[in-house]
Structure 1
Amino acid sequence: MTAQRLLIEGRVQRVGYRDWAVRTAKQLGVIGWVRNLQDGRVEILADGDGMALDTFVDRCREGPMLAEVARIDATPAERGNVKGFTKRFTA
């Protein structure tokens, strides 16, 4: 398993992006968390096997129907000690 930290920019808050990310991650078997950032971005820590994680990142480029993703920065991350995929409070 590998982990990625995603910083997602664009119209990604107040469009259901976090709930969508939770549903999508659970469907793919990806674990981690998602939260809004005060600067308007969404941050995700995602951990999963290569194919599932790649698929999740690709889907994050689209997001839910009302989102307009302008950019995603993906960087390798430390694997977190998490179970499932959760929505966190704004940081």
Structure 2
Amino acid sequence: MVRYHILVTGKVQGVGFRRFTQKQAVNLKIVGWVRNKLDGTVEIEAEGKPQNMNDFITLLWQGPLRAVVDQVQSQPIRGLKGYRRFVIKRNG
């Protein structure tokens, strides 16, 4: 299992990006959270199997239909939080 901090930039707020992210995470058995940041980016912390995480990050580059993703920055984080599900958090 691996854990990543991910920051997505572009037209990613107001287009269903958080719900898209949650759906992809659930399908790939990824746990963690997603939230909109005040600077217009989307922030994600996610845990899962390495191959599932690679697939998840690839899907984030696509995003939902109305999104325009400019960049997906992913940084591995040491240690696991032990999340039980994938949730949408309030803006932060």
Query: Could you say whether these structures have the same fold, taking a TM-score greater than 0.5 normalized by the shorter chain as the test?
Result: yes
Q: Find the counterpart in structure 1 of residue 84 from structure 2.
A: 83
User: Which residue pairs with 1:73 in the alignment?
Assistant: 73
Residues 37-84 of structure 1: CA distance to partner in whole angstroms, max 9, x if unpaired?
000000001110011110000000111111000001110124223211
* Residue ranges of structure 1 left out of the alignment (5+ in a row): none
* RMSD between aligned residues: 0.8
Aligned equivalents of 2:66, 2:54: Cα separation in 1:
22
Q: Quick one: which amino acid aligns to residue 87 of structure 2?
A: T
Q: TM-score, normalised by structure 2?
A: 0.95
Return 5+ residue gaps in structure 2 as ranges.
none
Question: What SS class does the counterpart of residue 62 from structure 2 fall into?
Answer: coil
Identity across the alignment (%): 32
Q: Distance in 1 between matches of 2:20 and 2:81?
A: 21
Instruction: Extract structure 1 runs of 4+ deviating beyond 3 A.
Output: none
Is this contact kept in 1: 2:47–2:83, CA < 8 A?
no
Q: Please give the TM-score of this superposition, normalised by the length of structure 1.
A: 0.96
Number of residues paired by the alignment?
Answer: 91
CA distance in 2, matches of 1:56, 1:81: 18
